[in-house]
């Protein structure tokens, strides 16, 4: 009777129920797998995480104004309005020729949508902006870049390139998988009107008179509506002028005899582009950029595939002679390469774990442990979906890192169950006893690891957003692994062979012999060197403590000595080597372009020198060159947002696109270093920055100087 009660008590409880019920255990396992696979279809995919800067920028154009005028009439007024708002941490402003940029830094974890509305309302209350200033624009600043950049280039007119780029933009926007496309690297259209001074004097007119006449003659007006018996007819006069001929036909003066003086009779009207210090060249040809963005919910691979197919089927065959479209960067390729690399590493790690386990444990046990690792990884996908974590380089790295941590959960459970089976305990009973013996220490071990990762969830700012996926995935895999090890794995291991089992086939005999040899070698090591080392450590505690302290001191000293470098996060190299040139203030765009061409020539010499040792049939190391005057680099940038400014004549960017990293032996860093050495010191430039990173966290140290007196500053 007592034996029956003990057996009944041993078979009670959720752990015993799951260990003895194959249907329930497998249902739980397949439920975890199903939840993960369903969540996988809804997870965003991106190469790098989108990082919020907790900055909101208010930009405002004031054509023709000096920085001093913009500071007094725009910047100071905006600063006064926004500095007193809730959650505002700091306000930084830039007054540049023709442009004002006010960046409002918010406290971490601020509701940015609400903050954007508050700032917009505060700025719109200002009624004293200059008459000639444009309306202010507002945006939240992030590290978000276009996932694809197309370059439309060729020896055709600037207008033709721009119109072709806008045509491509309209076609791509109409595709079902693409929602946001923008054209950049172009100057805005402008109608310029020049009237000689002697003609104005002869007619008794001023430029203000002509400007007022043009303003009155170029607009659309609503004239109300007319109600008829059947319907209401809206009346509207259409007079907005758009092209050169429309403006030339504007009547300035009219005589009583019916003669009229039109604008085209006394003025030169040109339909062209605004005078902006912007030069874009690709392979020494004029170029325009078409930027393709991925909206929330859109998959990077779906967008990229749709764009590539449309380019190949529709755009490229219809291009005029002398015009080409080049795919300059494609985030989907970066995502695919990084994902493939990390997945291969993950599979390799899983395989190594399986091989290591099979050397010491029964092969079926090792297989079920490996299955448990896979189930934990798939189950973590559902947690990622719940916390809105995307699949990117950081999250994939987290999965690879977690494999080496969670494998211990399944191993300790498997060892205890195998120990019970070797003692002759029946399968289900062995599984129940084994999992019950380890459940408390295993649970506390997992919870201890979870607690270790919890602080990473509260890292503030952009760095916390970059690494947010790491603690979420690690905690998710630890908890799912705990559930799988306690409620699923024991049932699978209840079918292990007992002590009476004899290998019946060549496969089992091979692993039995292999495990016997490994076990003998391990016992020899344990009974020999390890036992003597432990005996020495026990007999000589002073020597042991001195050695431990010495190792600790040596390890700590490696950091200040610089032998072990320290960094917040390692820079990630891309396939584009970039040089940002800054000339002294006052340099013209043509002069900046001349110096940029010198840097480009130095880069070509470096590529030629590095290509000499490559095989003759190898693809070229350099696949394209883009030079932009007026804009800085859009890659990298760290966690410090750059202000929105008009094109600056003293800034240029030279980009060398290299062969894919998988196809070349030379790293981007080596190309950048050789380029830096080839350029040397240029005394007539203010600064040159070389970079080969596609993602970084910015400069280690940045200093900002401020003083009320600009002259003293």
Q: How far apart are alpha carbons 27 and 33 in whole angstroms?
A: 10
Residue 68 lies in a domain: yes
| Contact assessment for residue 693 and residue 633, using Cβ atoms and an 8 Å cutoff | no
Look-up of token digits 């003597």: 532
Q: Is residue 583 part of a domain?
A: yes
Q: Which of 377, 307, 384, 338 is nearest to 42 (CA)?
A: 384
DSSP string, 178-196: --EEEEES-PPEEEEEE--
Shared domain for 641 and 689, answered yes or no, is yes
What pLDDT was estimated at residue 38?
A: 93
Q: Are residues 594 and 618 in the same domain?
A: yes
Q: 580 and 648 share a domain?
A: yes
- Whether 267 is in a domain gets the answer yes
- Distance from the first to the final alpha carbon of the chain: 94
CATH number at residue 133: 3.30.70.1430
In a domain, 454, yes or no: no
Place 1 in a pLDDT band, splitting at 50, 70 and 90.
very low
- Of 543, 498, 630, the C-alpha closest to 186 is 630
pLDDT, tens only, 292-339: 888 777 778 888 889 999 999 998 998 888 899 988 888 888 778 777
Answer whether residue 145 shows pLDDT above 80.
no
pTM above 0.85, yes or no: no
pLDDT band at residue 220 using 50, 70 and 90 as cut-offs: low
Q: What is the pLDDT of residues 675-712, one digit of tens each?
A: 999 998 888 888 888 888 766 656 666 777 777 777 77
Structural domain ending residue among the three candidates 534, 566, 598:
566
In-domain check, residue 404: no
Same domain (yes/no): 653, 539: no
CA distance 146 to 357: 45
Does 676 lie in the same domain as 616? yes
Q: Are residues 532 and 586 in the same domain?
A: no
Q: DSSP character for 43?
A: S
Question: Is residue 257 domain-shared with residue 206, that is, in the same domain?
Answer: yes
Asked whether residue 77 is assigned to any structural domain, the reply reads: yes
Instruction: Give the CA count within 13 Å in the CB-facing half-sphere of 663.
Output: 11
- Please tell me the distance from the alpha carbon of residue 440 to that of residue 12, in angstroms, as a whole number: 17
Find the farthest-apart pair of alpha carbons in the chain and give their distance in angstroms, rounded: 129
pLDDT at position 201 over 60? yes
Residue 360: HSE in the Cβ half-sphere, 13 Å Cα cutoff = 13
The answer to the question of residue 207 being in a domain is yes
Number of domains in the chain: 4
> What pLDDT, on a 0 to 100 scale, did the predictor assign at position 381?
92
Q: Do 674 and 577 lie in a common domain?
A: yes
Confidence tier at 477 by pLDDT (50, 70, 90):
very high
Task: Please check whether residues 69 and 85 belong to one and the same domain.
Answer: yes
Cβ–Cβ under 8 Å, residues 112 and 54: yes
Strands 52-61 and 572-582: unpaired
Between CA 335 and CA 269 the distance in angstroms is 50
Domain range enclosing 210: 189-217+242-273
User: Which domain-ending residue is among 513, 534, 566?
Assistant: 566
CA angle in degrees (0–180, nearest 5) for 276-281-285: 120
| pLDDT level of residue 30 (50, 70, 90 thresholds) | very high
Q: Are 676 and 690 in contact (CB under 8 A)?
A: yes
Helix (H, G, I), strand (E, B) or coil at 102: strand
Q: Is the pLDDT of residue 12 over 80?
A: no
Q: What is the mean pLDDT of residues 479-504?
A: 82
**Radius of gyration over every alpha carbon of the chain, rounded to an integer in angstroms:** 35
Based on the fold, state whether residues 582 and 689 are members of the same structural domain: yes
577 and 690, same domain (yes or no): yes
**Closest by Cα among 285, 217, 281 to 251:** 217
Q: Of 566, 584, 614, which residue sits at a domain end?
A: 566
Same domain, 97 and 196: no
Residue 656 maps to a domain: yes
């Amino acid at each position: 009777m007592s034996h029956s009660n003990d057996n009944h008590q041993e078979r009670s409880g959720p752990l015993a129920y799951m260990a003895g019920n194959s249907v329930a255990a497998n249902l739980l396992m397949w439920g975890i797998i199903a939840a993960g696979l369903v969540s996988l279809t809804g997870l965003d995919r991106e190469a790098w995480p989108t990082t919020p800067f907790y900055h909101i920028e208010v930009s405002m154009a004031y054509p023709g104004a000096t920085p001093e005028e913009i500071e007094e009439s725009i910047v100071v007024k905006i600063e006064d309005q926004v500095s007193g708002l809730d959650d505002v941490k700091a306000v930084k402003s830039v007054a540049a020729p023709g442009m004002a940029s006010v960046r409002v830094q918010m406290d971490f974890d601020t509701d940015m949508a609400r903050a954007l509305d508050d700032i917009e309302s505060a700025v719109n209350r200002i009624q004293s902006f200059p008459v000639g200033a444009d309306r202010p624009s507002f945006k939240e600043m992030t590290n978000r870049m276009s996932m694809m950049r197309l370059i439309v280039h060729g020896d055709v007119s600037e207008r033709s390139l721009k119109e072709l780029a806008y045509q491509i933009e309209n076609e791509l926007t109409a595709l079902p998988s693409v929602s946001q496309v923008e054209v950049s690297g172009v100057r805005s259209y402008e109608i310029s009107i020049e009237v000689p001074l002697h003609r104005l004097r002869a007619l008794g007119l001023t430029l203000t008179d002509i400007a007022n006449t043009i303003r009155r003659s170029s607009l659309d007006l609503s004239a109300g509506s007319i109600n008829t018996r059947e319907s209401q007819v809206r009346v509207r006069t259409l007079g907005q002028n758009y092209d050169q001929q429309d403006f030339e036909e504007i009547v300035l003066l009219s005589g009583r005899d019916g003669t009229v003086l039109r604008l085209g009779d006394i003025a030169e009207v040109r339909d062209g582009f605004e005078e902006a210090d912007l030069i874009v060249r690709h392979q020494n040809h004029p170029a325009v950029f078409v930027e393709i963005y991925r909206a929330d919910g859109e998959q990077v691979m779906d967008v990229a595939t749709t764009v590539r197919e449309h380019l190949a089927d529709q755009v490229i065959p219809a291009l005029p002679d002398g015009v080409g479209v080049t795919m300059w960067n494609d985030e989907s390729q970066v995502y695919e390469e990084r994902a493939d690399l990390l997945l291969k590493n993950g599979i390799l790690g899983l395989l190594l774990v399986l091989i290591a386990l099979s050397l010491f444990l029964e092969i079926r046990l090792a297989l079920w442990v490996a299955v448990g690792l896979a189930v934990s990884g798939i189950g973590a996908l559902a947690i990622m979906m719940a916390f809105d974590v995307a699949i990117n380089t950081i999250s994939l790295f987290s999965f690879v890192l977690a494999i080496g941590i969670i494998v211990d959960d399944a191993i300790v459970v498997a060892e205890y169950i195998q120990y019970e089976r070797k003692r002759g305990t029946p399968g289900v009973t062995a599984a129940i006893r084994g999992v019950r013996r380890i459940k408390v220490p295993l649970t506390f071990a997992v919870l201890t690891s979870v607690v270790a990762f919890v602080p990473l969830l509260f890292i503030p700012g952009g760095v916390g957003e970059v690494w947010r996926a790491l603690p979420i995935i690690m905690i998710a895999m630890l908890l799912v692994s705990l559930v799988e090890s306690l409620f699923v794995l024991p049932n699978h291991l209840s079918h292990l062979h007992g002590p009476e089992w004899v290998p019946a086939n060549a496969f089992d005999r091979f692993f039995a012999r292999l495990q016997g040899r490994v076990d003998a070698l391990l016992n020899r090591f344990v009974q020999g060197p390890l036992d003597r080392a432990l005996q020495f450590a026990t007999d000589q505690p002073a020597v042991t403590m001195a050695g431990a302290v010495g190792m600790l001191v040596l390890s700590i000293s490696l950091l200040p000595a610089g032998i072990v470098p320290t960094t917040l996060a390692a820079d990630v190299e891309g396939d584009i080597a970039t040089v940002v040139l800054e000339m002294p203030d006052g340099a013209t765009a043509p002069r900046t372009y001349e110096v940029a061409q010198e840097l480009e020539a130095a880069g070509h010499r470096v590529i030629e020198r590095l290509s000499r040792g490559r095989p003759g049939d190898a693809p070229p190391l350099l696949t394209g060159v883009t030079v932009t005057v007026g804009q800085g680099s859009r890659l990298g940038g760290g966690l410090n947002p750059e202000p929105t400014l008009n094109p600056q004549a003293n800034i240029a960017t030279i980009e060398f696109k290299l062969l894919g990293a998988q196809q070349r032996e030379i790293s981007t860093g080596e190309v950048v270093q050789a380029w830096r050495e080839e350029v040397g010191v240029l005394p007539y430039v203010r600064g040159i920055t070389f970079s080969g990173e596609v993602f970084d966290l910015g400069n280690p140290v940045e200093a900002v100087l401020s003083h009320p007196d600009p002259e003293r500053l």
